[in-house]
Chain A
Amino acid sequence: KNEVEQSPQNLTAQEGEFITINCSYSVGISALHWLQQHPGGGIVSLFMLSSGKKKHGRLIATINIQEKHSSLHITASHPRDSAVYICATRTGNQFYFGTGTSLTVIP
């Protein structure tokens, strides 16, 4: 079983701040996903990573395979970024999920 830990659990930021959410996992993976869940339940896949770094707009995701660690960064945060961010790892055909980071961006 892959233990996936996220930090922080809750995060409140002022609009415009740079935000970092961290994810650590315990066993080797084939891919790591960052997911965004807004109130109401729908989940959007933000990134799928197996190495290195990806950027999409104001979002940047990095992964360090050797250290079993990934980070999700949000630059120039905005209230519409308020959501729960979930880290998920894939090992073989199994998904393991972190407990999520609840982000609130205050105008």
Chain B
Amino acid sequence: AQSVSQHNHHVILSEAASLELGCNYSYGGTVNLFWYVQYPGQHLQLLLKYFSGDPLVKGIKGFEAEFIKSKFSFNLRKPSVQWSDTAEYFCAVNAHASGGSYIPTFGRGTSLIVHP
């Protein structure tokens, strides 16, 4: 079965600092990759997605992620964080299973706190 690992459980940064959140998955077949954000008290929202093509994906609010197939990684980055980026970030994988279904698997999440 596929799994998703997010190595940073808690990250604390000051405003304007650069951000990189790690995500590794274990699955050898076709995958689609996602990052979701959950602001305090809200539901998960899509930040960006990767299906194919350019491995560097641009998302909303200045976020980007790079898919490195050889490393099974999909790390999230932002050059300069803002206080409003304080949230929980989830990496997710849709792994292609038999019968044409795509099973979603989420990482444990990374809590980001940005100090003003």
Mutual binders A and B? no
A interface, CB within 8 angstroms of B: none
